Amino acid sequence: MLASVFVVAACGLVYELAAAALASYVLGDSVLQFSTIIGAYLFAMGVGSYLSRFFDRQLPAHFLRIELLVALIGGALPALLFIANAWAPGAFRLLLYGLVLVVGTLVGLEIPLVMRILKRNVALRDLVSQVLTFDYLGALAVSVAFPLVLVPQLGLIRTGLLFGLMNAAVALWALWLFRHELRQWRAHAAACVGVLALLGAGFAGADHITTLAEDRFYQDRIVASERSPWQRIVVTQGRNGHRLFLNGNLQFAQRDEYRYHEALVHPAMAAHGAPKKVAVLGGGDGLAVREVLKYPSVQSVTLVELDPAMTRLFAQQPALAQLNANALASPKVSIVNTDAFKWLEHDKGSYDVIVVDFPDPTNFAIGKLYTNSFYALLDQRLSAGGYAVVQTTSPLVARKSFWTVVTTIESVGLRAAPYHAHVPSFGEWGFVLASRRPWRMPDALPAGLRFLDLPALAPMFDFPRDMARVPADVNRLSNQALVTTYEREWGKVHE
């Protein structure tokens, strides 16, 4: 029974972490989602602990039934939420918190029942210390294994189902251990077999469940998908070509990505004149690197991408490597898979142009890459006449967020030259040039561009009234106000 306490604690924490992780993927703002999910889960456990006082007789039978319910509902939780997000997105939040409260209540019932069962054979002092020791050890094991082993190797759906099977195994163990006390042994045995069969079938068919949810969500045919420790990567192909999604958020569409990447790269590269040493932070798809390599003066490009799964996918899959013109295989390109913040802290190089192509600040892990601390490090890596360019969300939809980035760049002593371009897949999109000297209009652009030409450049730096500058605070590492502002502004679009 003490061994079962270890398993029960591990399973309960897995369901909590899986719900919080899925909430952060779908709803954004990981700190808010983890805080509210953990709070709701702990509250529900308290409710379950209180309700355990009303279980008086046949405690082993009650424990067995609760284990089977936890196994079935908790194990299926990630799969149910994935399907809900794809087929009924409006019900996702309601289902999320409903499942968290149900599973939390059931988990809260487990330990009090175990302690009351064990009390028959163990002194109270030893009982409490032993149960809590195994409970905490189980939580420790899962808290380490969940992000490092379970999710990267199994994915969220299989992880949930695996621990559901472990809960069901505890029920099976209780069935044998208390076989002489259970009045309806055959019914309990049938229930155990049924739950194990359902969870086992789900585990075996987890890929089909994922495909069912993703095909509905993404609509186009999925040609590549991978879950890394940092994100869910999905590439689809439809009538308009390939599209890349990270955690369900569109990153580029093949039909118009050239507009985005030409606008991102060339105003900085062409203004420099003859950049030799370039760094690209983010942009693991290699599309920004493709544009950088159009300059014959470039001698080296350092691509800093946190997720090796991204760079591997866009370097090795022929159809995806074709999108970036095999830029990641160029001898001029060095790929560094690490956190860009840490890389800036430790790298001692000086770069003529730094292209910053991170996802939007949907959570605090990404938000730190939009802080004054990050831009101060960026300033240290720029050569005397160098330029940095930062992709900076939509100045139309997220107006204050856009100008927060501008204000934050200026706060570290850099000049900021904001501009915007229209990308049909995203709408009006913004960028900011940062440098120690004023930006100047380039004399020429590389041949063969599909979107940019010199006459089109100047209007990009003009902002109409509905995108004009508004007062904004500096985004600091200690508060990360940008994440909250961004969520509020983009949330209005989805309401």
Rounded CA-CA distance 421/405 in Å is 17
Measured from the Cβ of residue 384, the count of other Cβ atoms closer than 10 Å reads: 9
**CB of 434 closer than 8 Å to CB of 411:** no
The DSSP string of 52-121 is: GGG--S-HHHHHHHHHHHHHHHHHHHHHHHHHHHHH-GGGHHHHHHHHHHHHHHHHHHHHHHHHHHHTTT
Q: In residues, how long is the chain?
A: 495
Any residues with CB less than 8 A from the CB of 93 and at least 6 apart, and which?
Answer: 27
Q: Which of 352, 333, 344 minimizes the C-alpha distance to 286?
A: 333
Measured from the Cβ of residue 144, the count of other Cβ atoms closer than 10 Å reads: 11
Q: Which of 175, 196, 173, 171 minimizes the C-alpha distance to 186?
A: 175
The residues that are catalytic are 357
Rounded CA-CA distance 323/98 in Å is 43
Any residues with CB less than 8 A from the CB of 226 and at least 6 apart, and which?
Answer: 232, 233, 309, 313
Query: Would strands 277-282 and 300-304 be described as parallel, antiparallel, or unpaired?
Result: parallel
The single residue listed with the structure tokens 């029960």 is 8
Measured from the Cβ of residue 208, the count of other Cβ atoms closer than 10 Å reads: 10
Query: Would strands 277-282 and 427-435 be described as parallel, antiparallel, or unpaired?
Result: unpaired
The SS3 of residue 132 is: helix
Rounded CA-CA distance 365/358 in Å is 11
DSSP annotation of 52 reads: G
Burial of 425 (0-12, 13-18, 19+ CB in 10 A): middle
Chain mean position to CA 392: 19
Give the torsion through C-alpha atoms of 223, 227, 230, 235, to 10 deg.
10
The DSSP string of 328-357 is: GG-TTEEEE-S-HHHHHHH----EEEEEEE
**CB of 290 closer than 8 Å to CB of 325:** yes
The helices-and-strands tally (H runs, E runs) of the chain is 18, 11
Query: Would strands 351-357 and 415-423 be described as parallel, antiparallel, or unpaired?
Result: unpaired
